[in-house]
Amino acid sequence: MSLWTSTEIATATAGVASADFEVTGVAFDSREVGPGDLFVALSGETTDGHRFLDQAFAQGAAGAIVSAPTDHPHVRVADSFAALNDLARASRARTDATIVGVTGSVGKTSAKEALFAALDRSMPGRVHRSVKSYNNHTGVPLSLARMPRDARIGVFEMGMNHAGELAALTRIVRPDVAIVTTVASVHIEFFADEAGIADAKAEIFEGLEPGGVAIVPFDNPHRDRLVAVARAHAGRVVTTGTGEGADARAVEVMRVATGGSFVTARIGDSEVSFTLAQPGAHWVSNALTVLAAVDAVGADLAQAALALAEMGGLPGRGARFVAKIAGGEALVMDESYNASPLSMRATLTVLADELGRHVAILGEMGELGDATATYHRDLADPIRGARVDTVLLVGESMRVLAEALEGTTNVVHVRDVAAALDRLDTVLAPGDTVLVKGSNRVGLSRVIARLKGGTT
């Protein structure tokens, strides 16, 4: 089944097709183009996708959206970015799928992937979701444009770092179910306070379809602020958490020997017990959010619980592996994709329960504004609470944390990831449990790649 025909693309974008063609996928990064794809040639501040048309077609593209002349099969439009948004709106308009939108200061990618796994368990091959962390002004319309005609459910991640961004995205996605995982001091430099972040996250509810469901974190200090906005747009508001009064609530949580949790949850009028593979209280929260969404779309809770029991960690977001190091092996917790004050504390709490000597390789956190030094310094107590023997701190913002830990923890502070790589063999020992976490811009994925590659 084709995803789009050239006629459909031209109609959706008010463009002109040069030839009849059909596509089975959509991409705007020429490196990701595969056979049968539609290549959207976007023109940006630093590059122009039209330069890569030959490469895209050499890799098998069946057609392109362009705003400049080309000899390749194409649909010519005035503005290729606007055309991508138009194609996304056409995808949303033609689908009968139930649409779920996910946002939050932390946990949105993990929740999106867990929800996909939970739904795919009972309707395999009929659930579509955003790939990677395609959650911005280009990633969201791309993900919508990629949704198969016969999808039954679509799950879309939506991110923001400024007010107004989610309002625009949610009106394209038009979710039937809108989720806020949590609100925390992420991107705080762009807001007056955390309440401003809550307001920006609550924008997701503005695009809800009539009678839609809003899912709100019950235990978050901004719950009432989120609920107030949700009630103005949703047919029903569902709260999730561990506190008495939550609509989707964990009534019992026990840690199991494998590191995860055994959870008994009450989801509306139903009760389900399951083993959650991923460790940590933050994953219990994720699981409750997922089950609330599964219930909201009318899918099978038991099947969803089985999927959560089997779900492993995601690369950069909780995946674990054993690394070969000089003299033996070490267990590595890969949290290298991103970091915020809240997620740093959450993963350090998980590290606290692990066996072996604890080592933390931590990169600086970004977009914290005037409070950058305070947020970094405040990690000292969680690090000590996690019984970290040695910490390798990466980035200039980590200097205040290094000073705060002096005398209680073995500290190595370096300027960048290249220097961190040079020090790996001096901080690791056989039997260690190693947490690797930092903002994506720090590049700790290079540390993960080195550890996966063999002896340091």
Binding residues for ATP: 104-110
Edge-to-edge strands, sheet with 270-276: 127-129, 153-157, 98-103, 177-180, 213-217, 236-241, 248-255, 261-267, 270-276
∠ CA 33-35-41, nearest 5°, is 35
Nearest alpha carbon to residue 146 among 259, 28, 31, 266: 28
Count CA atoms closer than 13 A to 175's CA, side-chain side.
Answer: 33
Q: Is 128 left (phi over 0), alpha (psi -120 to 50) or beta?
A: beta
Q: Which residues contact 370 (CB under 8 A, 6 or more apart)?
A: 189
Contact 266, 248 (CB under 8 A): yes
**Cα end-to-end distance, the chain, whole Å:** 48
What value does the CA radius of gyration of the chain take, rounded to a whole number of Å?
Answer: 23
- Residue in the structure block whose two tokens are 């308009």: 93
Edge-to-edge strands, sheet with 433-437: 319-325, 328-335, 433-437, 358-363, 388-394, 410-414
What angle do the packed helices 108-120 and 301-310 form, to 10 degrees? 120
Tell me which DSSP letter residue 248 carries. E
Instruction: Return d(Cα 430, Cα 324) in angstroms, integer.
Output: 9
* Helix count and strand count (H, E) for the chain: 16, 22
Instruction: Return d(Cα 286, Cα 240) in angstroms, integer.
Output: 9
Tell me which DSSP letter residue 403 carries. H
Burial of 56 by CB count in 10 Å (0-12 exposed, 13-18 middle, 19+ buried)? buried
Nearest alpha carbon to residue 283 among 256, 305, 260: 260
Burial of 44 by CB count in 10 Å (0-12 exposed, 13-18 middle, 19+ buried)? exposed
